[in-house]
């Protein structure tokens, strides 16, 4: 297809996988920091009327301004519509004012993205208090679901799984995957006491005493504390070596080691590049990009 597909730094592998499916080339920006910390950005080569930027949005603060510059530059160079392919969409968890005076960053971020792009494609954004991305994004957003891909991975690699959702918000992912596999599942009760402090409880621990392979399914693995507490609980309940299956491998510093120290195997989708990636989302993304460009 005729599309200028720009890969922001760190997104080259995903962009190459998409380009192979879409039949277009990948444009790489020249980017560097000036001594004062400002961004230098240059785009070389022809720009078509339709353009898209591939930029997953973990650690978004450093990425966002260069992303806006890139979108503006594509328009200056001839693009009439510029889309954002953000396999991971950040700032979805601060979706309400938990304490007086707090910034509802999900809304502010959505406004800024909507100002710079004509459409967006993303995978399983953390929709909790918002029922759909369109509640805060004013541009068309294709929300893709990795659940069937997670289910395929489990079907291919795990014999007799029992699925665990680590908190009430995970019901949407774990129930869909369990239904796909016709496997039993349970959802834990989680209390978050701080950024890196969570507690989990189980109501029906007998489900983990059946000899089935426990697979903990969550959308985001960030500090890793949710997964860690779920792993410890599963082990106490009789499931010796749980698998941690997450869509978005955010991995805050120090998140991985405590999990591997517990003997957990970690598997993630490649919405964020990480050594634990084992599930490719390019097929999902490519179909949605085609539809967004054609719309």
Tell whether residue 256 is a contact of ligand R5P (CB under 6 A): no
Q: Is 274 in the site for ligand R5P (CB under 6 A)?
A: no
Q: How many residues bind ligand R5P (CB under 6 A)?
A: 14
Question: Which H helix or E strand runs over 151?
Answer: helix 147-157
Q: Pick from 242, 244, 238, 240: which is nearest to 224 by CA?
A: 244
Please tell me what DSSP assigns to residue 97: -
- Give the whole-angstrom CA distance, residue 52 versus residue 142: 14
Does 276 participate in binding ligand R5P (rule CB under 6 A)? no
The answer to whether residues 117 and 89 touch, using CB atoms and an 8 Å cutoff, is no
In the bound complex, what is the minimum distance in angstroms from residue 149's beta carbon to ligand R5P? 18
CA distance 195 to 126: 17
Helix axes 171-181, 147-157, angle to 10 degrees: 50
Minimum gap (Å) between residue 217 Cβ and ligand R5P: 10
Q: What is d(CA 130, CA 113) in angstroms, rounded to the nearest whole number?
A: 17
- Residue from the set 118, 167, 256, 270 that interacts with ligand R5P by CB under 6 A: 167
Q: Does 63 bind ligand R5P (CB under 6 A)?
A: no
H or E element: which one contains 142?
strand 141-144
Is residue 169 involved in binding ligand R5P (CB under 6 A)?
yes
Choose which of 22, 154, 220, 288 interacts with ligand R5P (CB under 6 A): 220
Interaction pattern, residues 74-113, with ligand R5P; x per rule: CB under 6 A: ----------------------------------------
> From CA 271, how far away is CA 249, in angstroms rounded?
7
Query: Which of 90, 136, 158, 225 touches ligand R5P (CB under 6 A)?
Result: 225
Token pair of 138, please? 């004013």
Site for ligand R5P in 200-219 (CB under 6 A): 218-219
Q: Which stretch, 5-13, 95-103, 150-158, 167-175, contacts ligand R5P (CB under 6 A)?
A: 167-175
- Identify the residue among 226, 268, 271, 276 touching ligand R5P (CB under 6 A): 226
Give strand ranges (E) for 8-70. Answer: 26-27, 30-33, 39-42, 50-54
Q: Is 58 in the site for ligand R5P (CB under 6 A)?
A: no
Instruction: Please pick, from the candidates 22, 84, 178, 221, the single residue that binds ligand R5P as defined by CB under 6 A.
Output: 221
Q: Which helix (H) or strand (E) is 282 found in, with range? A: helix 282-294
Task: Assign 223 to helix, strand or coil.
Answer: coil
CB of residue 237 to ligand R5P, shortest distance in Å = 19
Work out whether 161 is an interface residue with ligand R5P (CB under 6 A).
no
- What is the per-residue binding string for ligand R5P in 109-148, x denoting contact by CB under 6 A? ----------------------------------------
For helices 60-76 and 105-116, the axis angle rounded to 10 degrees is 20
Q: Which of 125, 147, 224, 242 contacts ligand R5P by CB under 6 A?
A: 224
* Residue placing its CB nearer to ligand R5P in the complex, 51 or 92: 92
Measured distance CA(164)–CA(226) in Å, rounded: 12
Interface residue list for ligand R5P (CB under 6 A) = 166-167, 169-170, 198, 218-226
């Amino acid at each position: 297809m005729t599309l200028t597909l720009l890969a922001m730094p760190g997104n080259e592998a995903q962009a190459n996988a998409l380009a192979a499916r879409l039949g277009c080339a990948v444009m790489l920006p020249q980017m560097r920091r000036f001594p004062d910390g400002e961004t230098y950005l240059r785009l070389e080569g022809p720009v078509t009327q339709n353009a898209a930027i591939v930029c997953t949005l973990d650690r978004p603060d450093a990425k966002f301004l260069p992303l806006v510059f890139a979108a503006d530059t594509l328009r200056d160079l001839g693009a009439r519509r510029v889309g954002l392919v953000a396999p991971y969409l950040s700032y979805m968890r601060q979706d309400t004012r938990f304490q007086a005076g707090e910034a509802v960053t999900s809304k502010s971020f959505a406004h800024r993205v909507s100002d710079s792009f004509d459409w967006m494609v993303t995978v399983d954004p953390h929709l909790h208090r918002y029922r759909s991305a369109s509640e805060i994004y004013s541009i068309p957003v294709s929300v893709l679901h990795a659940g069937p891909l997670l289910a395929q991975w489990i079907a291919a690699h795990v014999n007799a799984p029992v699925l665990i959702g680590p908190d009430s918000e995970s019901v949407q992912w774990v129930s869909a995957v369990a239904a796909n596999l016709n496997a039993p599942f349970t959802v834990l009760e989680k209390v978050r006491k701080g950024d890196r402090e969570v507690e989990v409880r189980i109501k029906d621990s007998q489900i983990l005493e059946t000899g089935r392979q426990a697979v903990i399914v969550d959308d985001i693995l960030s500090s890793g504390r949710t997964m860690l507490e779920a792993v410890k609980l599963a082990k106490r309940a009789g499931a010796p070596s749980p698998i941690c299956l997450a869509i978005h491998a955010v991995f805050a510093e120090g998140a991985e080691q405590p999990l591997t120290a517990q003997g957990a195997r970690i598997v993630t989708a490649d919405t964020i590049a990480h050594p634990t990636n084992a599930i490719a989302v390019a097929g999902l993304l490519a179909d949605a990009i085609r539809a967004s460009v054609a719309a």
